[in-house]
């Protein structure tokens, strides 16, 4: 029975991966979570691991390379912005931080905080990537 459920999950994950190429890391996260969950907790672990993996995979999708290149090439601002909290991927920057939209891709904006270039989701102010 375990093998049937595990095989069904693997087939489902492979099917979804082919249909949803744009959401590659979500599918990868779901498949990886399902396999890990199956090893640790059997069929129930596979189901829970798949859901958790899908959420984690979605949360850390990096921006396209052209967005990163654009942000890297922009001149540094003349005024330094410093915040007390650490800048972490997945956490929001304060609402008071001014974001500059990326013209070619409005899903992203950027700012320079604590001397770090940061790509942000402008709707939630969530940090998507920190450029080193």
> For position 22, what pLDDT does the model report?
40
- Is residue 19 scored above 50 in pLDDT? no
pLDDT tens digits along 23-34: 445 555 555 555
- Residue predicted with more confidence, 36 or 108: 108
> For position 80, what pLDDT does the model report?
86
Widest CA span in the chain:
64
> For position 94, what pLDDT does the model report?
94
pLDDT tens digits along 32-86: 555 555 566 677 665 655 555 555 555 558 999 999 999 999 998 888 899 999 9
What pTM did the predictor assign?
0.57
What is the rounded average pLDDT for all residues in the chain? 76
> For position 56, what pLDDT does the model report?
53
* Per-position DSSP letters for the chain, written without gaps between them: -HHHHHHHHHHHHHHHHHH-GGGHHHHHHHHHHHHHHHHHHHHHHHHHHHHHHHHHHHHTPPPPHHHHHHHHHSPPPSS----SSPP-TTSBPPTTS--EE-TT-TT-EEEEETTEEEEEETTTTEEEEEE-
Q: Which domains does the chain have, with CATH numbers?
A: 77-131 (3.10.450.160)
Average pLDDT of the residues in 109-122: 95
> For position 76, what pLDDT does the model report?
86
* 25: phi then psi, degrees, rounded to nearest 5: -75, -25
């Amino acid at each position: 029975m375990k093998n049937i459920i595990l095989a069904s999950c693997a087939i489902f994950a492979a099917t979804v991966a082919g249909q949803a190429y744009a959401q590659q890391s979500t599918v990868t996260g779901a498949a990886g979570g399902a396999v890990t969950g199956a090893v640790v907790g059997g069929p129930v672990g596979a189901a829970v691991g798949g859901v958790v993996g899908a959420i984690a995979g979605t949360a850390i999708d990096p921006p396209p390379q052209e967005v990163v290149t654009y942000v890297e090439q922009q001149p540094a601002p003349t005024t330094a912005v410093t915040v007390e909290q650490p800048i972490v991927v997945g956490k929001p920057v304060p609402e008071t931080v001014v974001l500059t939209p990326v013209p070619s891709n409005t899903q992203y904006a950027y700012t320079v905080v604590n001397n770090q270039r940061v790509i942000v989701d402008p709707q939630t102010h969530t940090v998507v990537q920190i450029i080193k």
